Amino acid sequence: MAEKIRVVHYINQFFAGIGGEEKGASPLEFCEGPKGPGVGITQTIGAEAEIVRTIWCGDNLINQEQDRILAEIEKLIRDAKPGLVIAGPAFNAGRYGLACGMVAKLCSEKLSIPVIIGMYPENPAVEIFRKAAYIYPCAETAAGMRKDLPGFARLALKLGQKGKLDPAIVDGYIPRGYRYNEYVQKNAAARSIEMLGRRLAGDNPMTEIPLRGFEMVAPARPVTDLKGATIAIVTGGGMVPRGNPDKLKQAFADAFGIYSIAGLAELPAGDFKGIHGGYDSTWVDEDPDRVVPLDALRAMEKEGKFKKLLNEYFSLCGIGTNVAMSKKLGAEVAEQLKRREVSAAIYTST
Amino acid sequence: MQKEAERAGIPTALITAIPSVAKSVGVSRIITGGGIPYPVGNPSLPRDREIEFRRRLVEKALEAICTEVTGPTVFDVSLA
Amino acid sequence: MRLERGYFSVRDLAFGKQTALVDGILTVDRDELTRLILKDDENKHIKTLTLEIVKPGEDARIVHVLDTLQPGIKVEGEGQFMPGQLCDPVIVGGGKTHLIENVAVMECAELPWAGKSALLYARDAIIDMKGPAAGYSPFSQTFNLVLRMTMREGASDVEYDEAVRHAGVRCARHLAGLVKDMTPERTEIFDFDQAVDPSLPKVAYVTQCQTQGTYSNTYLYGKDVANIVPVSLSPTEIMDGCIVSGNYVWPCFKIPSFIQANLPTVMELARQHGKTVNFVGVVFDRGHNNSHFEKARVANMAASQVRRMGAQGVVISWEGGGNAATDAMLTLQTCERWGIKAVAFTFEFGGPDGTEGVLLVDDVPEAHFLVSSGSIEKPTTIPKVARVAGGDVVRLRKETGGDPEPADVERTLDNITPFYCGANQSGIGTLAGVGY
């Protein structure tokens, strides 16, 4: 008979039978064999896997003394030589969820041991640790234990046997955010018709592409003294000096250019050209002020509407740039604007 | 990109033809511009009227920069 | 309308003494066909035309690909396959049409880049017949007759565009002529005249094309659709090629004519019509509308067509990048607000491992039911190949000079944009973004 997979199970003071919230400072302890929910897990997968050690710690203690506790947990896990680590289920308990996440991160990043956590999908720890471990979706409270434990255990076993899991939509864990191109059985048209068919039959099929929200940033305080302000122009419309001297890319930007407009009352056609690959640049080539409104701003500067128009403008082509790069470029532009003591900036995009 | 400038404390306004994208991305001050290939203009206007339209867009942008907002806000400028 | 499609499949494609289809082998008289195509190019915009054959499984790459067409011919019923292209814009979709299933006519030309708009020029499109990129287009599976063209200097974009399209259409029609009087190997009948079981759900399909000017146009019954108001079409009109593509600007974001006449959503719903669904029709419109107002207008009118057909559910897809996604998402939103259940399929971004930032350029809160046609932000290393058809070089990155580089060498491309049909916007491919 094949050897059973060795498993280490991490739980907290409550599931170890010590006490609830009030025992949050209870020390790190362990025992050989299963304890608490580990007994239920063993009932499901005991033929192929064995919980050789159970570790628990007070939720408050581990959150407050992360480094020390995790170092000790590391040692306890190493000594047990497991092929799999299970943490939780933590349901919607915030600090317990964080603790499970920390243990999981340790296992996946330092120890290279497959690890799986059980948590309620809206537990705040999910967002923080979803990349570090597989997370099996559980009920909100421990009342769901009986229902969730067998599925959790079976998926844990599969992970222990294979080292990694199939796509989230197949194995049912919370998608960690990784997405890879694969050739699947049916083409996109057929899958769309099927998904629609299920909706029309009253089902709620899972989407293949989750919508990701954007981070909201609080607006900066408005300008109070416009007459004393320095204004700058930033464009995502890809207007650059003829010849594109900085060789900016027409899409998937990884850099921006800073170009002088000193002494210019408008951007002269011919000297400046649109290189953005996502819109027909004919109109802005004809009149570059249609995307970099220098003429209007220069006129207002002369009238004293504001103190000064910055003698340079910033430019790149805003298409296909992913969010991480946009943030990086945006921060660099912001840095440059601050150095030039710009009070406010007008952005244009296409 | 604009949100990084806001994060650094520099108020900004965006002139764009697609305010819906700007809103969902979370840009604070959005001016609805002329059109995708000509955000600060409109070639269907006679030249001097187009320059006047451009000026009104830029004025609105400056006005927006001086306005307190709490979240993505669209400022409209009519063509006529 | 009722349409019968008769299919022919070839076992091989080769140059030979005459142009004929015998025993499943299509031979082409190279000189005669070349002369025939050039004869009607009255203004001689095509400087040189060389026919090349590229077969499935060959260690070959095809470059400079513009449009790809299917040889098809109507044997009964009004109009011609690809109506409005070098013929009258007669309404099609009835009678009988014969098609060669696995032969594709490819227009390949290095169209001039001189002094053009930053969007409107033909970016170099690559098809690999084998290797890691072969799955990006369905044309690694077809017998391809490549019309390798060079153009005479001094003409305009509009003229080059017409010249290459007419060459392709003439060639495809000539080949289709071979099967006009032959008996098809198999047939499919699509009958939209019969009454349908009223308990079957009514489903429509919205196909939104790209039309942004010369080199990025789509033609409906022979004319580009810049000012189109969304229109409802019968599935059989689509199958008879009423939509022809002149869209060459972004290789990955295009649906060539061959696929437009065989849109998989249309074909699958048509096959299910009367059985599991009542396929009430197709709505055709354009995206990349230039202002929010125009986008909302097109989106609402498209949704209105869907509602008018009585649809309870709709599949939506589009051609083109982020700008087009906005129009289609607005269409989806209006449908959902009116209680019409919508599913859309689209390519994704996400970066190499899927975790970078957003997956979609634009979406609406109602877009909860989406199907993936794959991420375009994955790198691909294409191998050195024994042979390149269509041209000898690839020109990548016009904005930094666009110097020609050898097309046959091994190369790593950061994303899928240079691959023909790589964003899988017709949904014909099985490439998908899979979440882990």
Range of the structural domain that residue A138 is part of: 5-171
- Nearest-angstrom CA–CA distance, A290 and B42: 8
Give CA angle at A299 (A293, A303), nearest 5°. 140
Selected residue of A215, A217, A314, A332 to mutate for chain B interface (largest B Cβ count, 10 A): A217
Q: How confident is the model at residue A1 (pLDDT cuts 50, 70, 90)?
A: low
Among A321-330, A336-345, C274-283, the range with the most confident prediction by mean pLDDT is C274-283
Cα-trace Rg, chain A: 29
Query: In chain B, which ranges are continuous DSSP H helix?
Result: 2-7, 19-25, 47-65
- Nearest-angstrom CA–CA distance, C267 and A108: 46
- What is the average pLDDT score of chain C? 95
Strands C143-151, A134-137: pairing kind: unpaired
Residue C329 located in a structural domain: yes
Among the residue ranges A67-71, A210-214, C20-24, C408-412, the one predicted with the least confidence is A210-214
Range of the structural domain that residue C80 is part of: 2-413
Residue C214 has pLDDT above 60, yes or no: yes
Q: Higher confidence at residue C243 or residue C227?
A: C243
Residue C292 located in a structural domain: yes
Per-residue b or e along A113-137, where b marks 16 or more CB atoms closer than 10 Å to that residue's CB = bbbbbbbbeebebbeebbebbbbbb
CA C142 from chain centre, in angstroms, equals: 14
Is the dihedral angle over the CA atoms A149, A150, A153, A158 positive or is it negative? negative
Q: How confident is the model at residue A212 (pLDDT cuts 50, 70, 90)?
A: confident
Which residues of chain C neighbour A277 with C-beta distances below 8 Å? 118-119, 250, 399
Residue C277 located in a structural domain: yes
Mean pLDDT on C331-343: 97
- Which among C291, C322, C363 has CB closest to B17? C291
AA identity, residue C159: E
Tell me the angle at which helices A145-162 and A37-45 cross, rounded to the nearest 10 degrees: 60
The structure tokens listed for A101 are 């996440």
Chain C residue at shortest CA distance from A186: C430
pLDDT score, position C415: 94
CB C108 within 8 A of CB C389: yes
Q: How confident is the model at residue C160 (pLDDT cuts 50, 70, 90)?
A: very high
Cross-strand pairs, C379: none
Any idea of the CA torsion for C179, C182, C187, C190, to the nearest 10 degrees? 70
The string of pLDDT tens digits covering residues A11-54 is 999 999 999 888 888 999 999 999 999 999 999 999 999 999 99
Mean pLDDT on A260-277: 91
- Nearest-angstrom CA–CA distance, B18 and C24: 53
- Residues A258, A166, single domain; the answer is no
Which residues of chain C neighbour A276 with C-beta distances below 8 Å? 118-119
Which residues of chain A neighbour B26 with C-beta distances below 8 Å? 214-217
Measure Cα distances from A103 to A112, A129, A188 in Å.
12, 10, 39
Residue C119 has pLDDT above 80, yes or no: no
- Residues A231, A298, single domain; the answer is yes
Q: What are phi and psi of C329, to 5 degrees?
A: -65, -35
Q: What is the DSSP string of C258-280?
A: HHHTT-HHHHHHHHHBTTTBEEE
Residue C426 located in a structural domain: no
Its pTM stands at: 0.81
CA A72 from chain centre, in angstroms, equals: 29
**Is ipTM > 0.90 here?**
yes
Tell me the angle at which helices A94-105 and A66-80 cross, rounded to the nearest 10 degrees: 60
Strands C12-15, C25-28: pairing kind: parallel
Is the dihedral angle over the CA atoms C9, C11, C14, C16 positive or is it negative? negative
Instruction: Say how many C-beta atoms besides its own lie within 10 A of residue C122's C-beta.
Output: 27
Residue C418 located in a structural domain: no
Mean pLDDT on C399-417: 89
Strands C380-382, C411-413: pairing kind: antiparallel
Contacts of C35 (CB under 8 A, 6+ apart): none
Mean pLDDT on C141-168: 94
- Nearest-angstrom CA–CA distance, C312 and A2: 55
The number of domains in chain A is: 2
Residue C381 located in a structural domain: yes
- What is the average pLDDT score of chain B? 88
Mean pLDDT on C286-314: 95
CB C132 within 8 A of CB C10: no
Residue A115 has pLDDT above 80, yes or no: yes
Which residues of chain B neighbour C322 with C-beta distances below 8 Å? 21
> Which portions of chain B are predicted below pLDDT 70?
none
SS3 A224: coil
Which residues of chain B neighbour C288 with C-beta distances below 8 Å? 36
pLDDT score, position C114: 59
- Residues A44, A113, single domain; the answer is yes
Residue A307 located in a structural domain: yes
Instruction: Judge: A208–C371 Cβ closer than 8 Å, yes or no.
Output: yes
pLDDT score, position C201: 98
Domain ranges (residues) in chain B = 2-75
Q: Which of residues A171, A186, A203 is at a domain's end?
A: A171
Residue A86 has pLDDT above 60, yes or no: yes
pLDDT score, position A320: 61
The number of domains in chain C is: 1
Cα-trace Rg, chain B: 13
- Nearest-angstrom CA–CA distance, B57 and B35: 12
CA C215 from chain centre, in angstroms, equals: 14
Tell me the angle at which helices C292-308 and C322-337 cross, rounded to the nearest 10 degrees: 50
DSSP 8-state class, residue A270: T
Count contacts between A and B (CB, < 8 Å). Answer: 174
- Which among B21, B32, B36 has CB closest to C290? B36
Residue C115 has pLDDT above 60, yes or no: no
* Three-state SS letters, A93-132: CHHHHHHHHHHHHHHHHHHCCCEEEEECCCCHHHHHHCCC
Mean pLDDT on C264-288: 97
- Which among A205, A279, A322 has CB closest to C119? A279
Residue A218 located in a structural domain: no
Among the residue ranges A148-152, A316-320, C139-143, C291-295, the one predicted with the least confidence is A316-320
- Nearest-angstrom CA–CA distance, B26 and B20: 10
Is the dihedral angle over the CA atoms C399, C400, C404, C410 positive or is it negative? negative
Contacts of A204 (CB under 8 A, 6+ apart): none
Residue C430 located in a structural domain: no
Chain B residue at shortest CA distance from C289: B36
Contacts of A107 (CB under 8 A, 6+ apart): A77, A85, A113, A114, A115, A133
CA proximity to A329, closest of A314, A342, A341: A314
Instruction: Judge: B21–C288 Cβ closer than 8 Å, yes or no.
Output: no
